[in-house]
């Protein structure tokens, strides 16, 4: 889905292509069919995008973030299907009158950030850097009255570095993302205290083992569900019950 910047660039490119087609050196066209003109605009746009993409690739290959004239010359040499020689470009620029003004003014893009609206009770102060960028790096809360006292508070925000655009939001306060390395457990450096702690830990382990051993010695043996009886202090299992008879039972009168 095309974004707003894509639509803006397409409109500027359409005006530029139309101005080129209407020039005497390129045919002096007065009108064009819609689909044909849209195709020509698309071809010119793809050509410019390819040049920019190759320039960026050569710049990044050399460890730079911005392209220069050498990257542009290498791009022209690698263009397909026909290579472009810079001498031909120089000759064309001399022969063809390129000093043709743009038909309409092109606004600055991207659009500058709107100034922050002043909130109730705030006295905003705009600061301008050497590059002419207006940044809201400081605003003053004027005369906050608490009871009978009047407090003047000033909040300072971090300014953007040179590589961050001015329309980006301000950085948060440093305490929100700064961290301090603190050990989770306090380390003891005294050898005497270290020895006492080790002995205490060993004593706790021995006490736990002794408690487990004494508990297992007092516990009676398991009989797996068989009820035992004590005879002369010894546990004896009761005699087994006689097996059940399958013979029919007699009535009570015949017993």
Of 76, 95, 114, which one is at a domain's C-terminal end?
A: 95
Of 176, 203, 221, which one is at a domain's C-terminal end?
A: 176
* In-domain check, residue 74: yes
Shared-domain flag, residues 126 and 63:
no
Give pLDDT, residue 176.
75
The total of other beta-carbon atoms located within 10 Å of residue 64's CB is: 12
CB 143 within 8 A of CB 122: no
What are the φ and ψ backbone dihedral angles of 113, each rounded to 5 degrees?
A: -70, 140
Condensed to tens digits (0 to 9), the pLDDT of residues 64-99 reads 988 998 898 888 888 776 777 778 777 777 776 666
The domain total for the chain is 2
User: 155: exposed, middle or buried (C-beta count within 10 Å: 0-12, 13-18, 19+)?
Assistant: exposed
Residue count of the chain? 255
Give pLDDT, residue 149.
46
CB 170 within 8 A of CB 137: yes
The total of other beta-carbon atoms located within 10 Å of residue 52's CB is: 13
* In-domain check, residue 198: no
Condensed to tens digits (0 to 9), the pLDDT of residues 133-189 reads 444 444 444 454 544 444 444 445 567 778 888 788 877 777 777 776 666 666 777
Condensed to tens digits (0 to 9), the pLDDT of residues 101-139 reads 677 777 777 677 777 666 555 554 544 444 444 444 444
Give pLDDT, residue 201.
92
Q: Residue 54 is part of a domain; what is its CATH number?
A: 1.10.20.10
* Mean pLDDT, rounded, for 42-70: 90
* In-domain check, residue 67: yes
* In-domain check, residue 233: no
* In-domain check, residue 189: no
Of 42, 76, 95, which one is at a domain's C-terminal end?
A: 95
* In-domain check, residue 87: yes
* Mean pLDDT, rounded, for 188-209: 88
Shared-domain flag, residues 145 and 73:
no
* In-domain check, residue 240: no
pLDDT band at 56 (very low <50, low <70, confident <90, very high): very high
Give pLDDT, residue 155.
45
Place of tokens 């995008």: 49
pTM of the model: 0.41
State which residues form the domain around 53.
4-95
* In-domain check, residue 43: yes
């Amino acid at each position: 889905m095309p974004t707003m910047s894509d639509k803006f660039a397409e409109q500027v490119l359409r005006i530029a292509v139309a101005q080129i087609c209407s020039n005497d050196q390129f045919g002096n066209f007065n009108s064009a069919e819609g689909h044909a003109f849209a195709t020509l605009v698309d071809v010119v746009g793809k050509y410019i995008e390819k040049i920019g993409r190759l320039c960026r690739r050569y710049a990044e290959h050399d460890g730079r973030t911005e392209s220069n004239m050498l990257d542009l010359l290498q791009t022209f040499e690698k263009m397909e299907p026909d290579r472009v020689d810079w001498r031909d470009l120089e000759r064309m620029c001399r022969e063809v009158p390129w000093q043709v003004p743009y038909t309409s003014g092109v606004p600055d893009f991207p659009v500058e950030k709107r100034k922050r609206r002043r909130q109730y009770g705030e006295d905003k102060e705009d600061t301008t850097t050497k590059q002419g960028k207006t940044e809201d790096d400081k605003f003053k809360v004027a005369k906050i009255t608490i009871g009978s006292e009047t407090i003047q508070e000033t909040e300072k925000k971090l300014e953007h570095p040179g590589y961050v655009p001015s329309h980006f939001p301000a950085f948060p306060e440093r305490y929100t993302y700064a961290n301090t390395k603190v050990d989770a457990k306090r380390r003891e450096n005294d050898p005497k205290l270290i020895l006492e702690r080790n002995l205490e830990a060993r004593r706790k382990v021995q006490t736990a083992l002794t408690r487990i051993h004494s508990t297992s010695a007092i516990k009676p043996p398991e009989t797996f569900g068989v009820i035992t009886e004590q005879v002369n202090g010894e546990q004896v299992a009761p005699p087994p019950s006689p097996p059940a008879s399958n013979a029919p039972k007699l009535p009570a009168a015949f017993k």
